[in-house]
Amino acid sequence: MKAQQAGSLKERDKINLRLRNEILPLFQQIRTQLEALAADDQQARQGASLEEVYKIMNRVYAQLEDTTLSLLERDGKSSSFEAAVQRLADTIPADHPLRISVKHSGESKLLPDQENAVYRIIQELLQNIIKHAQADQATIDICDINGGLQIIVADNGRGFSLPDVPQGMGLKTIQQRVSELDGNLQLDTAQGVKCTIFIPYKS
Instruction: Say if residue 100 is in the same domain as residue 7.
Output: no
pLDDT at 69: 59
Report which residue type is found at 102. Answer: V
Out of 69, 85, 117, a domain closes at 69
Helix, coil or strand: residue 7 = helix
Residue percentage of the chain with pLDDT more than 90? 28
The chain-wide mean pLDDT, for the chain, equals 81
**Closest CA relative to residue 110, chosen from 84, 67, 144:** 144
Q: Based on the fold, state whether residues 57 and 120 are members of the same structural domain.
A: no
Query: Do 33 and 87 lie in a common domain?
Result: no
Q: Are 63 and 96 found together in one domain?
A: no
Decide if pLDDT at 75 tops 50. no
DSSP state of 112: H
Shared-domain flag, residues 53 and 105:
no
In this prediction, residue 32 carries a pLDDT of 86
Sorting pLDDT into bands at 50, 70 and 90, what band is 150? Answer: very high
Contact present, 178 and 195 (Cβ < 8 Å): no
Q: Report yes or no on whether pTM surpasses 0.75.
A: no
Do the bridges between strand 184-188 and strand 148-155 make them parallel or antiparallel, or are there none, so unpaired?
A: unpaired
- Domain limits for position 125: 77-200
- Whether the per-residue pLDDT at 202 is higher than 80: the answer is yes
Residues 85 and 41 in one domain: no
Rounded percentage of the chain residues whose pLDDT exceeds 70: 80
Q: What angle do CA 146, 151, 153 make, to 5 degrees?
A: 150
Same domain, 185 and 98: yes
Q: How many domains is the chain partitioned into structurally?
A: 2
Amino acid at position 67, single letter = T
pLDDT at 79 over 80: no
Q: Are residues 65 and 83 in the same domain?
A: no
Do 48 and 126 lie in one domain? The reply is no
Q: Give the model confidence (pLDDT) of 20-45 as tens digits.
A: 888 888 888 888 888 888 877 777 67
196 three-state secondary structure: strand
The residue-averaged pLDDT of 152-173 equals: 74
What does the alpha-carbon distance between residue 184 and residue 162 come to, in Å, rounded to a whole number? 17
Same domain for 92 and 52? no
Cα atoms in the 13 Å half-sphere on the side-chain side of 117: 21
